[in-house]
């Protein structure tokens, strides 16, 4: 990619501008230390959460540190299961967003909102996947060629999730926007409505990719099935709330995008032929 193409790609140019501003910060020792510390906390917990998810689902939630006796484990597992989607969605509402700002004392709560959100979401995922109490029942484990095929599909699902997160705005999805903006002492510059990359084919690629990770595991247990069914339902329903916010924010522009691009399943036949026939 040449320099012109790099600058033309809003995803890369925006990320590069943020990095450049963050690592050439204006004076303000307390502000810089706060930003760096929160950045380290955010990305450390984020990494632990992702690794926990990948490993725990690989084993179908049959290996974890949870040790609540049964049948009480059913209740604690259910609470762990619902706490993520409920809190994750609640914090995106108006009252939730205001609460998110207040969670950081001082004048920087609004700037750090995306970082705070990422920290909370990561902690929730760590709680779910590290402290789940396994049922001890394993229905099926892939072996040989089947294992290799499923492992490839599992890796591809995570790579798709990574690509979709980049297309949506890597700095927001990772929580970096908040602490880097504070570091640079600038107002957070949020990405525009995503339409590039995998967003050209479906409107909700992050949710679809996450759902795919749930179903491409090599070990199946009642635990994994419960997780897959619950979170797939969330991945299909929660974006409706997101799209309502996008419609309010972008209006006719999002409405045209929604008419052109399917929700979760890409069209098998491109509409370009029809576009060429149009006068």
* Residue 279 located in a structural domain: no
* Residue 14 located in a structural domain: yes
* Residue 111 located in a structural domain: yes
* Residue 275 located in a structural domain: no
Q: What is the pLDDT of residues 60-83, one digit of tens each?
A: 999 999 999 999 999 999 999 999
Contacts of 236 (CB under 8 A, 6+ apart): 207, 211, 264
What phi and psi, each to the nearest 5 degrees, are found at residue 220?
-115, 130
- Report the percentage of the chain scoring pLDDT > 70: 93
Least confident of 88-102, 132-146, 219-233, 252-266: 88-102
DSSP label of 193: P
* Residue 278 located in a structural domain: no
pLDDT band at residue 54, thresholds of 50, 70 and 90?
Answer: very high
* Residue 276 located in a structural domain: no
pLDDT band at residue 269, thresholds of 50, 70 and 90?
Answer: low
Contacts of 13 (CB under 8 A, 6+ apart): 6, 7
pLDDT band at residue 86, thresholds of 50, 70 and 90?
Answer: very high
Domains contained in the chain, number: 1
* Residue 222 located in a structural domain: yes
What phi and psi, each to the nearest 5 degrees, are found at residue 141?
-130, 130
Helices 252-260 and 222-250, interaxial angle, to 10°? 130
Q: What is the pLDDT of residues 211-237, one digit of tens each?
A: 999 999 999 999 999 999 999 999 999
Dihedral angle at the C-alpha atoms of 142, 147, 152, 158, nearest 10 degrees? 30
Domain span holding position 199: 3-266
């Amino acid at each position: 990619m040449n320099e012109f193409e790099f600058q033309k790609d809003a995803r890369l140019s925006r990320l590069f501008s943020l990095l450049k501003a963050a690592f050439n910060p204006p004076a303000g020792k307390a502000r810089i230390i706060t930003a760096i510390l929160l950045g380290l906390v955010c990305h450390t917990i984020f990494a632990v959460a992702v690794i926990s998810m990948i490993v725990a689902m690989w084993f179908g939630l049959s290996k974890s540190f949870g040790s609540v006796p049964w049948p009480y484990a059913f209740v604690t597992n259910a609470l762990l299961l619902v706490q993520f989607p409920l809190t994750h969605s609640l914090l995106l509402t108006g009252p939730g967003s205001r609460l998110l700002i207040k969670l950081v004392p001082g004048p920087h709560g609004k700037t750090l909102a995306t970082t705070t959100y990422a920290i909370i979401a990561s902690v929730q995922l760590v709680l779910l996947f590290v402290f789940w109490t396994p049922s001890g029942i394993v229905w099926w484990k892939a072996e040989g060629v089947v294992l290799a095929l499923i492992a490839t599909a599992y890796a591809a699902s995570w790579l798709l999730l990574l690509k979709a997160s980049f297309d949506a705005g890597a700095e927001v999805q990772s929580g970096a926007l908040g602490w880097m903006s504070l570091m640079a002492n600038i107002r957070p510059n949020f990405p525009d409505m995503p339409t590039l990359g995998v967003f050209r084919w479906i409107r909700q690629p992050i949710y679809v990719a996450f759902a795919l990770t749930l179903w491409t595991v090599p070990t199946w247990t009642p635990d994994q099935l419960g997780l897959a069914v619950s979170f797939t339902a969330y991945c299909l329903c929660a974006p409706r709330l997101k799209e309502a916010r996008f419609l309010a924010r972008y209006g006719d522009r999002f409405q045209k995008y929604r008419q052109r691009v399917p929700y979760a399943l890409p069209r098998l036949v491109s509409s370009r032929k029809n576009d060429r026939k149009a006068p």
